[in-house]
Amino acid sequence: MKLPNFYASGPLDRAGHRRKSPDWLAERLRHPDTRIQLVWRSQHLVIDTAEGPRPIILTPALASDLIERAAEVVLLGLADDVAHFALDVSALETPLAALDLPEASFRDLRAVGPLIGRDEGAMLAYARGLMHWHARHRFCGVCGAPTESIDAGHVRRCTNPDCATSHFPRTDPAVIMLVEDGDKCLLGRQAVWTPGMYSTLAGFVEPGESLEDAVAREVFEETGIRVDSVCYHSSQPWPFPASIMLGFYAKALDRAIRVDETELEEAHWYSRAYLKDHPEMLPRRDSIARRLIEDWLTL
């Protein structure tokens, strides 16, 4: 691995041992060194600069009113002993009204992710993923009673004392794979994608499957190609909304493509030379799909 994938390997020590310390959490939440990011309806507070969009991270003094009104307060972790928290302010219609930040706006990480720094991107992705989980697990999946956030926002516990089930943040495993046949690789496109963009195949892992099984099944379902030699490359948190992408290379056993048109619009074999001449057709630069393709081009 040369570099971590985008959104992975962020700068924070997650400090899991601090999550059960209410006094420490309360003190840090108001400490002047502490840094706080806002998540509003899966978007982040961003300001445009000459160097591109930059996230705005608040001090406790600036965020004081929002700390009181946030639906969730989550400890993200520590960086150089500075505590980083995230607030879910989605319930507020105008969370910026309390702040004197006329140039700032809430923007989707899908839009600004490729333009911001890796460390910043990893922190926003982490916060977005956790808040997405909180928003969709307000009720217990066992008994239906409301749940409450505990452990600094890393567990939700059922409030029914006869149940009291603990629910933990979910991340859904998905495989993404570059299928190769000699000097060519298999790329496809979905009809909803940006016109002209092609990418590696991908799909969710199903219960009872190994990752290798999922790679082989998805490739066969989408293109009719059978594969073997499934080989792990790297992984990437992908909080759009709640996936961990597990990247693989696989070798094709045949070349005739039969596209499943409910999944893909088209799929083709592309040579290294062709892809090097047409970088505009590759997926977004913050994606593991791009990484799989670019690393394959150098093999």
140 vs 187 by CB, closer to Zn ion: 140
Closer CB to Zn ion, 26 or 142, in the complex: 142
Helices vs. strands in the chain: H and E counts, helices first? 7, 15
As measured in angstroms, the least distance from the Cβ of 54 to Zn ion is 42
- Tell me the closest approach of the beta carbon of residue 161 to Zn ion, in angstroms: 9
Smallest distance, Å, CB 19 to Zn ion?
21
Give the residues lining the site for Zn ion (CB under 5 A).
140, 142-143, 145, 158, 160, 163, 165
Nearer CB in complex with Zn ion: 105/165? 165
Closest CA to 92 of 65, 112, 128: 65
CB of 160 to Zn ion, least distance (A): 5
The least distance separating Zn ion from the CB of residue 194, rounded to whole angstroms, comes to: 43
Buried b (16+ CB within 10 A) or exposed e, 208-224: ebebbebbbbbbeebbe
Distance CA 229, CA 209 (A): 17
Q: Which is nearer to Zn ion, 1 or 143 (CB)?
A: 143
Shortest spacing between CB 159 and Zn ion, in angstroms: 8
Between β-strands 243-252 and 172-181, what pairing exists: parallel, antiparallel or unpaired? Answer: parallel
CA distance 27 to 22: 9
- Residue 157 or 184: the one with the smaller Cβ distance to Zn ion is 157
Q: Which residues of 77-113 are buried (b: 16+ CB within 10 A; e: fewer)?
A: bbbeeebbbbbbbbebeebbeebeeeebebbebeebb
Give whichever of 42 and 147 is closer to Zn ion, judged by the CB atom.
147
Cβ atoms 5, 236 nearer than 8 A? yes
> Per the structure block, which two tokens stand in for 95?
């969370």
